[in-house]
Amino acid sequence: MELLGILMAVTVPLALGITKLLDSLAYRNRARGRAEIIRAERGHVSSAQETRAQGRADG
């Protein structure tokens, strides 16, 4: 029973931390997607797209 208590004491905070990390990553990914859509609507090319285009032109 003591082992179960120790496992729960370690697992629960770890799971909550991982959940917060995943939520943060998802938020950043959504924000990046929205920004890319806005740039596309305005006709701008993102720096990642410029890098890919330069790579194709060089190769």
Task: State pLDDT tens for residues 14-52.
Answer: 999 999 999 999 999 999 999 999 999 988 665 666 667
Residue 1 banded pLDDT, cuts 50, 70, 90: confident
Rounded to two decimals, the pTM is 0.56
Cα–Cα nearest to 40, from 9, 48, 5, 7: 48
For 16, 18, 38, 46, the CA distances from 25, given in Å and listed in that order, are 14, 10, 20, 20
